[in-house]
Amino acid sequence: MAVNVTNDNAKEFMATELPIVLDFSATWCGPCKQLAPIIDELSQEYAGRIAVGKCDIEEADDLTMEYGIRNVPTVIFIKDGKVVDKFVGSKSKGDVQAKFEALLG
């Protein structure tokens, strides 16, 4: 299950050795609501291999500013502490899963 990442727990969440997927969203965002179940499903499928976090931009504003998030949804992919990929907007499960697979490669 995806972890709800806030300003309070961001440092702890980011300390993992696993590759990280961060989904930046907002409660008022329609495309975010479309993407959320896909991210949740993939977080379960990749449990133990990829750390998946969900960041409400209003609850994790420090992380939002750190990664320069300007539009939601934005999903970033981090490996070895560096952003290696990202996308903005809603995507199909197949497209998102391909990015999860690439992160493991």
Residue 55 is among the residues annotated as catalytic for this protein: no
How far out from the chain centre does Cα 21 lie? 4
Given the residues 10, 22, 29, 55, the one annotated as active site: 29
Q: List Cβ neighbours of 104 (8 Å cut-off, separation of 6 or more).
A: 19, 46, 49, 50
Residue 29 is among the residues annotated as catalytic for this protein: yes
Q: Which of 31, 21, 28, 38 is nearest to 73 (CA)?
A: 31
Q: List Cβ neighbours of 55 (8 Å cut-off, separation of 6 or more).
A: 5, 6, 10, 22, 23, 24, 25, 63, 64
Given the residues 5, 20, 32, 63, the one annotated as active site: 32
Where in the sequence numbering do the catalytic residues fall? 29, 32
